[in-house]
A and B are shown apart, each in its own frame.
Chain A
Amino acid sequence: MRINLASIHVDDQEKALRFYTDVLGFLPKNDVPMGEHRWLTVVSPEEPDGVELVLEPDDHPAVRPYTEALVADGIPFTSFAVADVHAEFDRLKGLGVTFTQEPTVMGPVTTAVLDDTCGNLIQIAAMEAPAS
């Protein structure tokens, strides 16, 4: 058994596809029509055959109260690994991304939290590089 998918609920699949590709920099992987929605996944360009992130519609009535409560408390739905949190923060800020937490050293890891514009907060995280 292996993990090949991770899902995130989004309030608009087309908007989410644009944000996750144009802004975050992921690549479209699967885009299959499924009735009124799509089976829509993206992958990291660093791992095109790696785990796919499913951009899943949030039309079930339980989803929004759940995601809204997480967002209110600043809790990221998931976390992506980056090489340099400060560099990503600067790059994404330049693209107009909203952060609810600026880069912060949390023990051995540096994290920041951004709004994906589709109903979720996302953490970006990097392990501290060894002192040079």
Chain B
Amino acid sequence: MGDVFKALADPTRRAILDELQERNGQTLFELCTRLISKHGLSSSRQAVSQHLDVLEAAGLVHTRREGRYKFHDLDTSPLRTITDRWQLPTD
């Protein structure tokens, strides 16, 4: 599994996670359009695709093929490695 910390270190990748949290199961097209229209990011489709590869390697995004379409789903469970390592205050 790739590095969760490295995956989170990039603002575009964090924006991708924000958008997937708002709606899970997006195509590459929808994600790219959201990054441009809502975050003012001008990353190329290829760059977004590479960001998705990094997020997928870290287990934060899963790609799902459904018929002829490809959707991207958010998985926040790798974030547990962070709070397992540095625990949250209990109060």
Question: Could you list which residues of chain A lie within 8 angstroms of chain B, going by C-beta atoms?
Answer: 68, 71-76, 100-102, 104, 106-107, 109, 111, 113
Contacts and interface: CB of A to CB of B under 8 A. Distances in A.
Contacts of B68: 68, 71-72
Interface stretch (B1-9, B10-18, B22-30, B79-87): B22-30
A75 B33 CA distance: 10
Contact of A74 (B23, B38, B69): B69
6 contacts: A71-B69, A72-B69, A74-B26, A100-B27, A106-B34, A111-B33
B53 to A, nearest CB: 14
A107 B40 CA distance: 10
Contact of A100 (B33, B45, B69): B69
Contacts of A74: 26-30, 69-70
A9 to B, nearest CB: 15
Given A71-B68, A74-B69, A100-B69, A106 B38 contact: yes
Interface of B: 23, 26-30, 33-34, 37-38, 45, 68-71
B33 A106 contact: yes
Given A73-B27, A74-B28, A76-B29, 4 more contacts: A74-B26, A74-B69, A104-B34, A106-B34
A116 to B, nearest CB: 12
B37 A106 contact: yes
Nearest to A73: B28
B23 A73 contact: no
B22 to A, nearest CB: 9
**Residue of A71, A74, A75 ringed by the most chain B CB atoms within 10 A:** A74
Contact of B23 (A75, A102, A106): A102
B27 A104 contact: no
Contacts of A72: 68-70
A106 B38 CA distance: 7
Given A71-B69, A74-B70, A101 B37 contact: no
